[in-house]
Amino acid sequence: MHKTKILVIEPVTHDVKRIRLERPEGFDYQVGDATELALDVDGWRDEKRPFTMTSLPEDPYLEFTIKEYPDHDGVTTRLHDMKPGETVLIDDPFKTFRNKGKGVFIAGGAGITPFLAILRKEREKHSLDGYTLIFANKRTEDIICRDELAGMPELKVVHVLSEDKEPGMHHGEVDADLIRGEVEDFDQRFYLCGPPPMMEAVQKSLDKLGVKADAVDLSD
């Protein structure tokens, strides 16, 4: 495990924080990698939890975008209360997603994190043309990096809210009808990341729409 210092901790939404860490020497990773993080606190060092880097491999720091679950005393709740200068422990990186080319990225809540890294990388290369993001949340206030996503040139962003109704956004779930209405080509790559029940439902919808199973990427 690498012991590393918090550089920045700031809100992204009401329950999500951006946490930037000092990048340990030799911590090399690729876009779409994650690591396991533990609190550097007695009684918590073995409680490792997986989080995805939302920084780019060339950034001098490591960035994470982390949602807390304040209904119980877990790692995320404690992490949200930490301050710059305090330390955490991280393992070596491991692979979750790889960008296999343009396609449709379907995320639920904090499931956006690997796609955030992928989309940021493509923005940097000016190659977001042909990328679609379908992003499901409960309420408007839950949308992670809404302004940043809106400012990504050429990225088609489709917001889906299960609880709120907002002009320009879908109300409901990511089902076959919604996907059919937003996606023209089903012979392209689909990437899914979100809570397991949502992912199962979306996989069934894609199957119904004729998307081949080997064209669908889930986190490894």
Ligand X SMILES: Cc1cc2nc3c(=O)[nH]c(=O)nc-3n(C[C@H](O)[C@H](O)[C@H](O)COP(=O)(O)OP(=O)(O)OC[C@H]3O[C@@H](n4cnc5c(N)ncnc54)[C@H](O)[C@@H]3O)c2cc1C
The least distance separating ligand X from the CB of residue 207, rounded to whole angstroms, comes to 23
Q: Does 65 bind ligand X (CB under 6 A)?
A: yes
d(CA 94, CA 81): 26
Q: Does 18 bind ligand X (CB under 6 A)?
A: no
Nearer to ligand X, 63 or 122 (CB): 63
Asked whether the beta carbons of 53 and 34 are under 8 A apart, the reply is yes
Residue among 117, 135, 123, 120 nearest 193 (CA): 135
Q: Does 2 bind ligand X (CB under 6 A)?
A: no
Site string for ligand X, 106-125 (x = CB under 6 A): ----x--x------------
Return the residues of window 31-50 that contact ligand X according to CB under 6 A: 34, 49-50
141 three-state secondary structure? helix
d(CA 89, CA 126): 34
Nearer to ligand X, 67 or 120 (CB): 67
17 membership: H or E segment, kind and range:
strand 16-22
d(CA 146, CA 125): 21
Q: Does 199 bind ligand X (CB under 6 A)?
A: no
Binding site for ligand X (CB under 6 A): 34, 49-52, 64-67, 69, 71-72, 74-77, 96, 110, 113, 219
